[in-house]
Chains A and B, each alone.
Chain A
C-alpha cells in the first residue's frame, strides 16, 4: 500500500494540478462547443473525473482518506446523473429524432 502512495508522491503535485485543470477545461469547452447531447454528457463526466483525480491526489499527499471517500460519492452521483441524463436523452430522441441540443429550444419566452 505504501509504495502506491510513494509512487503518487513521486510525481509532484503540480503535475496533477496542471493535468486536472487541462482535463477540466477540455470538459468545459466540450460542454460549451458541442451540440450533441451525448458528447456533452461525456464532457461532464470528464469534468467530474478530473475533480475525482484531484481529490485522490490531494488525499494521497495529505494522508487523509476523506478525500477518497468523496471520490466514491462523486462516482455514485455521476452514475445516477448519467442514468437520469441518458433517460432524458432517449426521451428527447424519441420525440425529436435527434440528440442535437438546439432542438431543445422550445422552453423560452
Chain B
C-alpha cells in the first residue's frame, strides 16, 4: 500500500491545477466538490497508510517506510532524491493535515460562497495542502524545505487573499518576509548538516547524529539554525509578530494554516530532529526559555484584545510557546501531543469564531457582540468545548497535553512550571473572557445585525461538531500512567524518540507530585474561568479601552513590538536604501565614473583652443615644429 503514498500530495496538486486554471470557467459547486474531494481522497489514503504503520507498530516494528520518486539534484558527490518518508510521526501529521484540511474545505464551501474569489480560494487551499504534505512526508531536510517554503507562499497568498485592501497585502508581505528570515536559518542548517553528515536524508543523518558526543559544536550550529527557522514558521519570539497580522486572511485560512497545521511545522521539524537537539543542551535551554517567554508575552497581550480573531491569534502564539517549552524540556511526545490537541481545539475555535463573524455580517469586534448563546446554539456549545479544552480543564484534551508539558517542565526546573502555570491561568482567563463577551450578556450590535444573526448551514456546523468531539476526547490518545492510562501516543511514537530517550535524563516524578500539579492547574484554570465569566458577562468596562494603567496600555498595544521593529529594522533599512542609492551610488561611484569621462572632456576643451582656425597660426606652429625637430636633430647626432 505504501506505493500509494505519492497520490497523497498529488491529489491536492491536481485539485490546485484544475481549480486554478478553471476558476472562472467551472461552476462553484464543482469547484467546491473537487477541492474538498481531493483532500478527502488524500485523507482516505492517509488512513489506509496510517493503518499500515499502526499494524507494523503493533507487531513491534519501527513502522518506517521510504518511497523514492526520482533524483532531484545531483552535483558532484552530492545526490538528493525526491522521496517520501512514512513513519509514526508523519502518519499522524498526515491525518491531521488531510483530516482537518478536509473539514476546513467543507466549512469554506459555505463560508466563502458569496466571495468572488471562490475558485481562487479553493485552489490556494489545495496548494497549501500539497505543500504541507510535502513538508510532512519529505524524507530529507530539503524536501521538507520545499514544503516549508511552499506553505509560506500559500500563507502569503491566503493572508493577502482580499488583495484590494492594502493593509491585508502588507500583512501578507510581512508574514512572508519574517518567515524568510527563519528560512535562511533553515538553509544554513541544511548546509551545516551536509557538511557534518554528508547527507540530508533523515534515515542517515539522525542515526549518525546519535553517535556524536553531547554538546558537539557542529550540532550546536545546526540546532540553533533550525530553531531560528522554527521561530519564523511557528511564530516565536522574536519573529512572532506576523501571526496576529495574518488574521487578515479569511477565517478558514486562520484555522487551517495559522492554527492547526502550518504554524506547528516548527514543532514537527524539531520533533523529527529530536536527537540533534537532545545532544545540544544549550539549544534546548534556549528553546525552553524562548518558548516560555513567548507563551507568557502572547498570553499577556491576548488578555486585552477586542478583536475575536486577534485573541485567538495571540492564544495560538502562546500555545505554540508551550509546545516549544515542551520541546525544550525534552517532552517531545508531550509537545507533539499538544500539536495534536491544539490542532483540534484551535481549529474548532477559529471555525467557531468564523461562524460568529459570518453570523454577525463580518463583525470581528467582541465589544459589538454578546448574547449570541441562544442565537447560535451549535456554535456556542462547540466553542464552549473548545474553550474548556484550551483552558486545560479535565477531562478535555487540552488538559492532558498541557499537563504533560508542565510536568516535564517541573521536572526540568520548578521555575519553568511556575511561569507555565501563570501562563495557563492567563489562558483560561482570556479564553473565557472571549466566550463571555461573545455569547453571554446582552446583544450589543446594531439592529440590522440583530435581525440578520442566524446559525450557520450544515457545511459549517458539521466541522464544528466533529472537531468538538475530537477536542473533547482527544486526550484519551495519551492518558499518562499516573491516571492509569496506557500512553498510547507515546508508545506509538517511541521509535522516533528512542535515541533521545536513551541519552536524556529519564523523566520521573512521584505520582503524588503529579497529582498535586494537576490539581493546582485545574483549580487555577477553573478559578480564572469563573472570574472571567463573572467580570465580562455584565458588560462592564468592555467598551472603554482608553482607561486602564500602564500595564493595560502595554498589553493593549502589544508591548509596542511592531513599532520597535519598525523603528529598529524597517526604517533604518529604508533610510539605508535611499542613502545607498543617492549618496553612494549616484553621488559616489557614478560620480567617479563620470569624473573619468569629465577629465577627458575638460582636457579636450582646453587643448582644442589651439585649433583656432587661423592658418597663419598653423603655419607658425609648423615652422616652430620644424625648427624644434632640427634643433633636436643637431643636439642628438
Contacts and interface: CB of A to CB of B under 8 A. Distances in A.
**A–B contact via C-beta, under 8 angstroms:** yes
Interface string A68-109: 000000000000000000000000000000000110111111
Interface of B: 608-609, 611-616, 619-620, 623
Nearest to A34: B616
A109 B619 CA distance: 17
Given A28-B623, A32-B620, A32-B623, A106 B613 contact: yes
A109 B611 contact: yes
Contacts of A109: 608-609, 611-612
A109 B607 CA distance: 10
B623 A108 contact: no
B612 A35 contact: no
20 contacts: A31-B619, A31-B623, A32-B616, A32-B619, A32-B620, A32-B623, A35-B616, A101-B615, A101-B616, A102-B614, A105-B612, A105-B613, A105-B615, A106-B613, A107-B613, A108-B611, A108-B612, A108-B613, A109-B611, A109-B612
B223 to A, nearest CB: 73
A105 B609 CA distance: 13
Contact of A104 (B608, B609, B615, B620): B615
Interface residues of A, number: 12
Interface of A: 28, 31-32, 35, 101-102, 104-109
A109 B612 CA distance: 7
With most chain A CB atoms within 10 A of its CB, the pick from B608, B613, B620 is B613
A55 to B, nearest CB: 19
Contacts of B608: 109
The 3 A-B residue pairs with the shortest CB-CB distance, nearest first, are: A108-B613, A105-B613, A109-B608
Nearest to B619: A31
A28 B623 CA distance: 8
Nearest to A106: B613
Contacts of A104: 613, 615
Nearest to A32: B620
Contacts of A107: 613
A101 B620 CA distance: 13
A101 B618 CA distance: 12
Contacts of A106: 613
A20 B614 CA distance: 29
A24 B615 CA distance: 20
B241 to A, nearest CB: 65
B508 to A, nearest CB: 98
A31 B620 CA distance: 9
A107 B612 CA distance: 8
A104 B609 CA distance: 17
A83 B66 CA distance: 101
Given A108-B612, A109-B608, A109-B609, 16 more contacts: A31-B619, A31-B623, A32-B619, A32-B620, A101-B614, A101-B616, A102-B614, A102-B616, A104-B615, A105-B612, A105-B613, A105-B615, A106-B613, A107-B613, A108-B613, A109-B611
